[in-house]
Chains A and B, each alone.
Chain A
């Protein structure tokens, strides 16, 4: 039954995994996402649905347990936070290369290095540009509320199995830790072993019962075959752009200026839109919900309408590169962001828009732009 609850983002995500019919979760504690495994352990999902939950010896082991379960057709998830995600990158590259479905959650904290345990969006590049080695992409969902932390879990599994690809839910310490009301989805039944054999028997290593044997690998030593595999992956990513791009536009119809922001930053930028409009600045917000694929075409078109774009991120400027590529120099694109775990206020964001974009219209050249950090 769907039900209304007050929950932390991390808990809502964990509950959603049980309800999404996940077969397994493998994880390792790290702040600010440890509530995911704590909640799961507390819920005894092995009794509720038969879901396996195991605390691994490291993030590396956890992602490889995910690889094992995924290779045998199971719905499997892991979660971590920035330094832990770096450790998982090898496994993620293998998942992409071997074309395995899995959900990886990053509740981002500040970096580089051990960084801080405060919220951040500094893992945008790592999530969107690959992170691990080789030619691959991850489908990346960016929740902006506790509700989306819950909703995106089953969406992520659906995409993972539709394309046989790793999917990342790129959250942050703010969404993970804050409490909001959330409507939980109805429970989806876990597939039986027989159903898995039937649905995924064409590729999954479940034991060669009544079929040819299956092999899961990402190794192709013949150049032509390796290139074929890379092409296959690229076609998949192309299809994601065509069929599964997600974004939201807020007050964009009459906008003269545009914020681009995702996740926590989008929540705050939405307030800045209201403040701006109260002051008579016609500003809108484009919120990419998927960071890969990215709403390139929408941005390209909006650039014909607006006088300038401000990319608002809790980092030193990462998504702004993708915004600039999409806008193709039609109008100025600037970045505004705080780092170190500092969360920008709506007032700061509006002020940045006024100073960097509105102030001197649309004639400023990129090479003269000021440092984007405060």
Chain B
């Protein structure tokens, strides 16, 4: 086979996602954000809805999501993305509106906005990347930080007695009648990436069908914040994060899958 044959479109097996910009990702090597961005954009691209898609970027590591995702995007104040998305979705009911948020943004400062947006069943997609830590500000304790986990604001480990237990947002909002699809995924292996992408596709299909709110949690690593190598962080995630945040669908087509 000649080189010219290899680069023919019909022989191409992989290419850069069309809806990712050429900007260099600002995420740490090993971080799951890049993959989560990538599959979100692949779904928009494959559905052919880029002209009708509006994203909302959060505050946190993914504050610059709009530098990487080549769709129209609005940057929201910390925690307010679900309210900002509500404002867009209500006035442009035929658009595909999504938020992309981390755990500090969605589960701490923006808890009220998250819960009420879910409760109203806004016709949007929320992509929630949960790595159990505040990455952007330098590794402080998040509402999702595991018990005993050391962070810069819980240097001796998270104490449940004084700091409460980590919040399981997906289980919490799945109990609201307004949510239509709630699932928990990860992007640390090829298998998981494919599953997560399917979940995101399903979420955006729900928007197309005007089914209401779809919530895709992605349990991810933060090798920098957790002070591990990327590989160590993925192993730690499997051993510690997944038992507390089990992967899988929690609510499908408006029905709870199992009692958590």
Contacts and interface: CB of A to CB of B under 8 A. Distances in A.
Given A26-B87, A76-B87, A216 B80 contact: no
Interface residues of B, number: 33
Given A207-B72, A213-B73, A217-B66, A72 B91 contact: yes
A64 B77 CA distance: 8
A288 to B, nearest CB: 31
Interface string A50-79: 001010111011101111111110101000
B208 to A, nearest CB: 14
Given A24-B90, A76-B91, A213-B70, A219 B53 contact: no
Contact of A74 (B57, B91, B113, B116): B91
| Most B CB within 10 A of own CB, among A66, A68, A90, A91 | A68
A331 B220 CA distance: 67
Contact of B75 (A69, A70, A210, A215): A215
Interface string B57-92: 100000110100011111111001001111111111
Chain B binding site: helix, strand, loop or mixed by DSSP? helix
Contacts of B86: 54, 61, 65, 68
A23 interface: yes
A66 B54 contact: no
Nearest to A205: B72
A216 B73 contact: yes
Contacts of A74: 91-92
A193 interface: yes
Contact of B74 (A57, A58, A71): A71
A213 B72 contact: yes
Given A23-B91, A74-B91, A215 B77 contact: no
B15 to A, nearest CB: 20
A206 B54 contact: yes
Contacts of B193: none
A52 B90 contact: yes
Contacts of B56: 68
Contact of B54 (A24, A26, A205): A205
Contacts of B66: 215, 217
B84 to A, nearest CB: 4
A24 B85 CA distance: 14
Most chain-A Cβ atoms within 10 A of its Cβ — which of B87, B89, B90?
A: B87
B95 interface: yes
Contacts of B75: 98, 215-219
Nearest to B83: A64
A98 B75 CA distance: 9
Nearest to A95: B77
A91 B77 contact: yes
B149 interface: no
A189 interface: no
B73 A215 contact: yes
9 closest A-B pairs by beta carbon, nearest first, are A68-B87, A64-B83, A65-B87, A68-B84, A205-B72, A217-B75, A57-B116, A64-B80, A69-B87
Given A71-B88, A219-B63, 12 more contacts: A24-B90, A24-B91, A26-B87, A64-B87, A65-B83, A67-B83, A68-B74, A72-B87, A98-B74, A207-B52, A207-B72, A217-B75
